[in-house]
């Protein structure tokens, strides 16, 4: 039997177990804070609503042992974990063995499955990592609870997009969901420039913050963007207002495409500037008409600790949609604040400049949830040579400090996760991430030790090159 078939049979089995739960029971629904987790949770909520069940929701940035221990003390008999849980099988085994536990996840499986855990994870069936996300897993499960599951098909794909599973199209089980979304007219697929914020933002902002489409000298630089537009004969303004992509004439659009390709000519895949656009015809707010922007909005809801707003958006509540869009502008403002902090403090003692690297300690001046995004925008600004490293720190409110490490360009073969692991091995703390983007959390008390260790390790690293 192939993996897809085996996965689907497992879904049927688990749903059958779920249906045994009396409808009088309140279900504890625990999900992940990111876009995919918010979408997964919303899909289950829709299914539980239609199935006349009551539930109580908990959204978490990550599932820790202590949290599982606390959950065990709650009165709930049934727990449904979405987009998390597979990495916590040992603690689920330890604390929840007298409860009914459903895990609908796609993350790496750690520990052994146990009989009392209804575990659904595509990795168990050797499906590929980008074939289905947490919300896709929830979607397949929801099919068994309600006949109205297809009304959430676009949400399952927005979750997958949030987890970067869309790359010039979907694959595997995500394609099945896309077929549902297209036949339900929830999604229309078009082709367009690989830029995000296509519908809602002025062109110059689109290009400046277009982390999806790197344009040397333009990405991350407002003046660079305006100069670029003038140099290719496009006036970024229409009267007093800034032009949006939809304001451009066909010939201007051609100029823009040509100009972007020229600027990108030194990059690998320089002509890879088009991508699929997943258009959501039912949405009335422009930000929500594009699935990619929708997913960005959900991510920023999570990062601003407003996951419930995101859930409201997925479930189609017009008032919550309006509020979520407003809170996203707060998120953008936070990023702008962070960039301003950096340019104002470039020469202060909070920004240490080394040969080939910068260490910036924003302390409480930048939100810890956006310090990584800030570093990413900086390394893409074109102000730093390939291989340049930016290590950024910002404080959480619980006496810990969030750290992220980013690199300019992708030509160098350094492993950022390894570097951060080496540093926290000296200072204390925990590191994670991957080769090109890594993060860590340390106690704020050891910030100085961390920065000292980082300086030594980064210096040696640059010297070795």
Q: Please report, as ranges, the residues that interact with Mn ion according to CB under 5 A.
A: 36, 83, 133-134, 163
CB of 366 to Mn ion, least distance (A): 26
CB of 106 to Mn ion, least distance (A): 6
Comparing CB distances to Mn ion, the nearer of 171 and 365 is 171
CB of 14 to Mn ion, least distance (A): 18
Comparing CB distances to Mn ion, the nearer of 301 and 393 is 301
Comparing CB distances to Mn ion, the nearer of 133 and 392 is 133
Comparing CB distances to Mn ion, the nearer of 133 and 221 is 133
Instruction: Give Cβ neighbours of residue 233 (< 8 Å, ≥ 6 apart).
Output: 252, 255
Instruction: Tell me the residue number closest to Mn ion, measured at CB.
Output: 36
CB of 37 to Mn ion, least distance (A): 6
Comparing CB distances to Mn ion, the nearer of 42 and 381 is 42
Comparing CB distances to Mn ion, the nearer of 93 and 130 is 130
CB of 303 to Mn ion, least distance (A): 15
CB of 380 to Mn ion, least distance (A): 24
Comparing CB distances to Mn ion, the nearer of 31 and 153 is 31
CB of 197 to Mn ion, least distance (A): 22
């Amino acid at each position: 039997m192939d993996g897809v078939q085996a996965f689907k049979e497992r879904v049927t089995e688990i749903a059958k177990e779920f249906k045994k739960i009396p409808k009088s029971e309140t279900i504890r629904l625990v999900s992940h804070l990111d876009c995919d987790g918010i979408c997964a949770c919303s899909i289950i909520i829709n299914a539980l609503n239609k199935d006349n069940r009551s539930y109580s929701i908990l959204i978490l940035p990550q599932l820790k042992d202590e949290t599982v221990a606390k959950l065990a003390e709650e009165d709930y008999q049934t727990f449904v974990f979405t987009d998390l849980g597979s990495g916590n099988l040992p603690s689920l085994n330890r604390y929840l063995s007298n409860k009914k536990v459903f895990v609908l996840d796609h993350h790496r499986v750690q520990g052994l499955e146990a009989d009392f855990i209804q575990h659904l994870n595509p990795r168990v069936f050797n499906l590929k990592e980008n074939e289905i996300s947490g919300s896709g897993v929830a979607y397949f499960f929801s099919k068994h609870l309600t006949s109205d599951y297809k009304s959430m098909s676009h949400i399952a794909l927005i979750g997958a997009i949030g987890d970067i599973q869309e790359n010039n199209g979907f694959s595997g089980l995500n394609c099945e969901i896309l077929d549902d979304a297209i036949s339900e007219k929830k999604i229309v697929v078009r082709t367009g420039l690989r830029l995000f914020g296509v519908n809602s933002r002025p062109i110059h902002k689109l290009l400046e913050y277009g982390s999806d489409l790197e344009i040397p000298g333009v990405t991350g630089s407002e003046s660079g963007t305006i100069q670029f537009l003038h140099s290719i004969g496009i006036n970024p303004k229409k009267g007093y207002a800034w032009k949006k992509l939809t304001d451009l004439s066909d010939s201007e659009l051609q100029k823009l495409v040509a100009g972007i390709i020229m600027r990108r000519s030194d990059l690998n895949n320089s002509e890879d500037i088009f991508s699929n656009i997943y258009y959501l015809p039912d949405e009335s707010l422009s930000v929500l008409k594009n699935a990619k922007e929708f997913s960005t909005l959900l991510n920023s809801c999570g990062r601003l600790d407003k996951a419930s707003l995101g859930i409201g958006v997925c479930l189609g509540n017009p008032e919550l949609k309006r509020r979520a869009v407003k809170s996203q502008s707060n998120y953008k403002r936070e990023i702008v604040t962070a960039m301003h902090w950096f340019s104002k403090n470039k020469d202060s003692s909070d920004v240490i400049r080394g040969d080939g690297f910068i260490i910036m300690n924003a302390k409480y001046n930048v939100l810890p949830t956006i310090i990584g995004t800030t570093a990413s925008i900086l390394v893409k600004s074109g102000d730093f040579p390939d291989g340049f490293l930016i290590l950024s720190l910002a404080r959480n409110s619980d006496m810990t400090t969030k750290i992220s490490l980013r690199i300019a360009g992708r030509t160098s073969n350094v492993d950022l996760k390894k570097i951060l692991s080496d540093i926290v091995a000296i200072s204390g703390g925990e590191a994670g991430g991957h080769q090109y983007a890594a993060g860590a959390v340390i106690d704020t008390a050891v910030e100085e030790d961390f920065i000292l260790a980082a300086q030594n390790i980064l210096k040696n690293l640059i010297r070795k090159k």
